[in-house]
Structures are given as C-alpha cells and as structure tokens.
C-alpha cells in the first residue's frame, strides 16, 4: 500500500489533497487509480487510511475512511551523529527512521570529512530523506533533524537528555546493557530520554571524547570489530530500543 506524507493539520475533512510533489509522483510514477487504498501520515502520530478519489496530472485527492492517532513514544531517542560522507549519511538517516529515532543532531566534529555550513541546505535534504523513509517504513512520527552544530556548542547548550551514550574505541569496553542496568538500579525505571553519540569515519578527537565524558556521557562498546558509521548507528540504536523494552526489577 502506498503511503504519503501530509504536514500536521492539513489532513482535515473527508477528502484531502496530496502535496503537489506527492501528487505528481503518485499520478505519473506510481500510477495510482481511483479507488486504490492509500495511507496518509502527518508526522506527529496521525495516520489516515482511505482511497484515491480523483487523479489529475498534478493533483490527487484521497477520501478518508479511518483515522488513527498513535501514542507518543515513552522514551524519545536522539541520535547525535557526526556528519558522515554523503552516501553513508543518507543511509544512516534512513536506518534511524526505520528504528524509531525521534531526532538527529548532526555534529561537525573535527575529523568529519564533510563540513556542512549552517545555510540549511543540507538539513533540508536530510529532512526530505527522513520523510521518504517514514513513508517507506510506515513510521507515523517524523524524525526531526537539527541544523549542524559543533560538539562543543551542543554540549554548551545543555540539551536535557537523561541518559547519554557514546560509542567509543578509546575507553575500556562497557556494554549498553551494563549502563542501562546501572540506570535502572539507581532510578527504578527506564530513562525518560536517551541520546546516542556516534563519531565520524575518522572518529572523535580525544578532546571531543573528553568533552562528552565531562558532560556525563557513558562510553559503550558495540563489539571488538571496527564498524562503518552506518552500521554503528543501526547497531547502537537497535540495542537502545531493545533495552527500553526491559521492565525494571521490582
């Protein structure tokens, strides 16, 4: 079934129009037909199912038949990702959406090969990738992507993340399970928010690692092998999401 994205608040009424870009894609590429079932996602948990009502060259309308509001995630996961090479960055963003990441903070670390400016062009492109991945995966929550920022500036911003993890090749190995168990023993619950920090292809500098440690980040290992950036993202986020399903011991 085809899925389309409509910004929050626009999928109102019994019959709604797709955005022009989605309408053109639906009509000319997907070749949707009147009566064909489709799903609309609004990025804030709303999901509408319906059927195609009309098809024009640059416009498509959908007759809404059912609406679902998905509950918010109990623990949003933020990915603090050092900007990677174009292909790797695009791929890891797709995986992050599929794994339910709520937000990505692109970090302009010292060893990043790509150093995007703050014009917003890169962020707009990355947000478009997130939208496409949400439609593909059926994720009803649109992953937000911040403007690129240096690790130092992000740390100074004091982002309120209750548990911060950083994938590290320098520190003594500690598993994510050990960090989560420690948190649960101390608080009797899972964290209310989690941040996962992944370095660039050239890894973080020692100074950047030290800055994250000083900010309270817990160093974790993802095994003894060296992982590509996109693999590290998928592995770490999958482990975090699994740990968040654990019930604290009474």
Q: What is the mean pLDDT of residues 215-224?
A: 91
pLDDT at 250: 54
Digit-coded pLDDT (tens) for 76-102? 999 999 999 989 999 999 999 999 999
Q: Find how far residue 119's CA is from the centre of its chain.
A: 21
User: What are the structural domains of the chain?
Assistant: 2-69 (2.40.240.20), 77-243 (3.40.1280.10)
Return the bridge partners of 205, or none: none
Which phi and psi (to 5°) does residue 97 adopt? -65, -45
Q: What is the mean pLDDT of residues 123-143?
A: 95
- Give the chain as a DSSP string: -EEEE--TT-S-SSEEEPPHHHHHIIIIII---TT-EEEEE-SBSEEEEEEEEEE-SS-EEEEEEEEEEPPPPSS-EEEEEE---HHHHHHHHHHHHHTT--EEEEE--TT-S----SSSHHHHHHHHHHHHHHHHHT-SBPPEEPPPB-HHHHHHHT---SEEEEE-SSSPP--HHHHHHHHHHHHSS--S-EEEEE--TT---HHHHHHHHHTTPEEE---SSPPPHHHHHHHHHHHHHHHTTPPPP-
Mean pLDDT of the chain: 92
Query: For residue 116, is pLDDT > 80?
Result: no
Return the bridge partners of 128, or none: none
pLDDT at 248: 65
pLDDT at 170: 76
User: Could you tell me which of 132, 45, 143 has the C-alpha nearest to residue 102?
Assistant: 143
Please check whether residue 116 is in contact with residue 86, taking contact to mean a CB–CB distance below 8 angstroms: no
Digit-coded pLDDT (tens) for 146-186? 999 999 999 999 888 999 999 987 777 789 999 999 999 99
Digit-coded pLDDT (tens) for 26-79? 999 999 999 999 999 999 999 999 999 999 989 999 999 999 999 998 999 999
Give the pLDDT band of residue 117 (cuts 50, 70, 90). Answer: low
């Amino acid at each position: 079934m085809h899925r389309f994205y409509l910004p929050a608040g626009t999928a109102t009424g019994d019959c709604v129009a797709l955005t022009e870009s989605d309408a053109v894609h639906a009509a000319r590429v997907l070749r949707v037909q009147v009566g064909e079932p489709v799903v609309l996602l609004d990025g804030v948990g709303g999901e509408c199912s319906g059927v195609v009502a009309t098809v024009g060259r640059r416009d498509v309308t959908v007759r809404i038949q059912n609406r679902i509001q998905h509950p918010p995630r109990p623990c949003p996961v933020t990915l603090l990702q050092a900007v990677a090479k174009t292909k790797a960055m695009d791929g890891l963003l797709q995986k992050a959406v599929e794994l339910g990441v709520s937000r990505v903070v692109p970090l302009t670390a010292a060893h990043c090969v790509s150093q995007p400016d703050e014009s917003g062009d890169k962020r707009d492109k990355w947000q478009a990738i997130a939208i496409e991945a949400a439609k593909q995966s059926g994720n009803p929550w649109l992953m937000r992507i911040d403007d690129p920022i240096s690790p130092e500036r992000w740390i100074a911003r004091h982002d309120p993340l209750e548990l911060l993890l950083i994938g590290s090749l320098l520190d003594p190995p500690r598993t994510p399970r050990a960090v989560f168990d420690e948190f649960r023993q101390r608080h009797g619950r899972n964290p209310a928010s989690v941040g996962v920090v992944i370095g660039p292809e050239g890894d973080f500098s020692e100074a950047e690692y030290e800055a994250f440690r000083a900010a309270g980040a817990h160093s974790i290992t993802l095994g003894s092998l060296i992982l590509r950036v996109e693999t590290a993202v998928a592995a770490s986020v999958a482990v975090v999401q699994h740990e968040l399903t654990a019930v604290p011991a009474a």
